[in-house]
């Protein structure tokens, strides 16, 4: 005869353990509140002393959502002074970690309804839409403060680009452009120095964006790197007349290859890269002329024209230290951020207005900038002084 099999209800055991932890948290916090009240009063219960500053006046119950579940605290009431606890902030109903988690969810593109559902699952009690809205306002205030901060050092290199998102407008949907700027500061580290809304990447939008950067303190710019856009280049020449302009080589390649049949793109791409593999401006210009001639020979006149007309503006970087060339001749530094923005905003779909789009984009930029991205030295800027 076999031994009887011992079984147990795993779900019930887990429930009991969870309740035990929750009760322990509740008892511990209540005990700490009692000790804090005694310290404020300056005497034990019913004790008469010259140091007594207040008297006990009972308790009231107050809920607090913790990561261990919903707990009910016995909050001491005092007569003669207000009981202001340092353990739990006045009027606070949730742990800071819970609030921060909800803000992170919203900034990551999670809808208000989903935040309510997730909070119910994770913390045992649902948050109201008003609470989520208040948290959003709190988050947006911090994000806006960061977005508008003064720029207090020099930025010899600045990368600019625009990203398009969908927004609702008068019952229809249209694109909204968020213009982004990254600067390499005097110490060689990258910073996100600007993000602003623009209905289109027009000359007026770029002029306003660059003027806003200048008003916040952007100075010491030696070169801007960006895509080929007459509106952008014209605004740069107007607002920062002393700065050079570098057309992103990757965008240049894409423009030329768009005029090349797929069967020949690999060959032509290698030819284009050879232009920027040279060791001087003169050598690069000679190579560009040779590439254009080769393109004419294989009957790619449109591509050859692009090379002849556009190669020079992709070689501005050759005026600067050679060790900087690889990183300042493309917009790759900002393209990585744009991919992160698109990944995070894709779950939102269409934004209700331009402000929400700008705030979410800026929040993601701030998150990335505060990570390892902004803590690694990007360039040795001291080479500019040699």
DSSP characters over 124-169? SSPPPHHHHHHHHHHHHHHHHHHHT----SB-SEEEEEEEEEEEEE
Number of neighbours of residue 202 by Cβ within 10 angstroms: 15
DSSP characters over 259-326? TS-GGGHHHHHHHHHHHTTSSSHHHHHHHHHHHHHHHHHTT-HHHHHHHHHHTGGG-GGGGS-GGGHH
Class of residue 196 by CB neighbours under 10 A (exposed 0-12, middle 13-18, buried 19+): buried
Q: Where do the structural domains in the chain lie, given as residue ranges?
A: 1-93, 95-148, 153-384
Decide: 331 and 320 in contact? Cβ < 8 Å: no
DSSP characters over 202-262? -HHHHHHHHHHHHHTT-B---EEEE---HHHHHHHHHH-TTSEEEE-HHHHHHHHHTTS-G
How high does pLDDT run on average in the chain? 80
Question: In the numeric block, which tokens belong to residue 303?
Answer: 């591509």
Highest mean pLDDT among 37-51, 134-148, 334-348, 367-381: 367-381
Q: Pick from 364, 363, 320: which is nearest to 339 by CA?
A: 364
Can you name the residues that pair with 246 across neighbouring β-strands?
225
User: Is the pLDDT confidence value at 317 over 80?
Assistant: yes
**Helix and strand element counts for the chain (H, E):** 13, 8
Residue corresponding to tokens 């609470």: 131
Alpha carbon distance 310, 306 (integer Å): 6
Neighbouring residues of 379: CB distance < 8 A, sequence distance ≥ 6: 157, 184, 188, 324, 327, 328
Alpha carbon distance 88, 102 (integer Å): 19
Against a cut of 0.85, is the pTM above it?
no
User: Is the pLDDT confidence value at 10 over 70?
Assistant: no
Mean pLDDT calculated for residue range 252-265? 95
Buried b (16+ CB within 10 A) or exposed e, 284-299: bbebbeebbeebeeee
pLDDT in the model for residue 91: 45
Alpha carbon distance 247, 235 (integer Å): 14
Decide: 332 and 250 in contact? Cβ < 8 Å: yes
Decide: 378 and 184 in contact? Cβ < 8 Å: yes
Grouping H, G, I as helix, E, B as strand and the rest as coil, residue 193 is strand
Q: pLDDT by residue (tens digit) across 288-312?
A: 999 999 999 999 999 999 999 999 9
Strand (E) or helix (H) holding 66: strand 55-66
pLDDT in the model for residue 57: 79
Residue corresponding to tokens 């019913």: 46
Q: Pick from 187, 129, 175: which is nearest to 354 by CA?
A: 175
Q: Give 111 or 240, the one with higher predicted confidence.
A: 240
pLDDT band at 169 (very low <50, low <70, confident <90, very high): low
Question: In the numeric block, which tokens belong to residue 338?
Answer: 């744009």
- DSSP-derived pairing of the beta strands 69-79 and 55-66: antiparallel
User: Is the pLDDT confidence value at 85 over 90?
Assistant: no
Question: In the numeric block, which tokens belong to residue 336?
Answer: 């990585």
Q: Give 203 or 255, the one with higher predicted confidence.
A: 255
Question: In the numeric block, which tokens belong to residue 275?
Answer: 């232009």
Angle at 128 between CA 123 and CA 133, to 5 degrees: 110
pLDDT in the model for residue 208: 93
How many CA atoms lie within 13 Å of 9's alpha carbon, on the beta-carbon side? 6
Q: Give 85 or 381, the one with higher predicted confidence.
A: 381
Q: pLDDT by residue (tens digit) across 197-237?
A: 876 667 888 999 999 999 999 999 999 999 877 778 889 99
Neighbouring residues of 67: CB distance < 8 A, sequence distance ≥ 6: 95, 97, 98, 122, 123
Angle at 104 between CA 98 and CA 110, to 5 degrees: 110
User: Is the pLDDT confidence value at 153 over 60?
Assistant: yes
């Amino acid at each position: 005869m076999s031994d009887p099999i011992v079984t147990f209800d795993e779900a019930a055991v887990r429930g009991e353990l969870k309740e035990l932890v929750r009760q322990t948290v509740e008892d511990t916090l209540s005990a700490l509140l009692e000790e804090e009240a005694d310290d404020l009063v300056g005497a034990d219960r019913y004790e008469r002393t010259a140091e007594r500053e207040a008297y006990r006046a009972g308790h009231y119950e107050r809920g607090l959502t913790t990561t261990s579940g919903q707990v009910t605290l016995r909050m001491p009431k005092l007569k003669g002074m207000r009981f202001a606890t340092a353990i739990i902030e006045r009027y606070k109903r949730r742990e800071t970690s819970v609030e921060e988690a909800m803000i992170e969810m919203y900034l990551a593109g999670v809808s208000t309804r989903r935040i309510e559902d997730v909070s119910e699952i994770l913390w045992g009690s649902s948050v109201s839409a008003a609470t989520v809205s208040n948290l959003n306002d709190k988050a947006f205030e911090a994000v806006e403060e960061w977005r508008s901060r003064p720029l207090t050092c020099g930025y010899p290199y600045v990368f600019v680009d625009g990203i398009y998102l969908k927004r609702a407008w008068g019952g229809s949907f249209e694109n909204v452009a968020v213009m982004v700027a990254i600067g390499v500061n005097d110490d060689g580290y990258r910073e996100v120095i600007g993000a602003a809304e623009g209905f289109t990447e027009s000359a007026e939008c770029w002029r306003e964006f660059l003027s806003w950067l200048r008003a916040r303190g952007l100075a010491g710019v030696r070169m801007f790197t960006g895509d080929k856009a007459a509106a952008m280049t014209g605004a740069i020449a107007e607002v920062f007349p002393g700065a050079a302009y570098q057309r992103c080589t990757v965008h240049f390649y894409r423009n030329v290859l768009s005029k090349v049949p797929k069967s020949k793109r690999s060959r032509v791409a290698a030819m284009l890269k050879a232009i920027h593999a040279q060791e001087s401006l003169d050598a690069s210009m000679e190579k560009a002329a040779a590439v254009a001639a080769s393109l004419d020979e294989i009957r790619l006149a449109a591509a050859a024209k692009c090379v002849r007309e556009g190669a020079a503006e992709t070689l501005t970087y050759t005026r600067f230290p050679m060790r900087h060339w690889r990183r300042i001749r493309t917009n790759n530094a900002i393209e990585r951020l744009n991919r992160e923005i698109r990944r995070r905003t894709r779950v939102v779909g269409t934004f209700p207005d331009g402000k929400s789009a700008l705030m979410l984009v800026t929040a993601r930029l701030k998150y990335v900038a505060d990570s390892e991205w902004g803590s690694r030295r990007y360039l040795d800027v001291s080479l500019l002084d040699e």
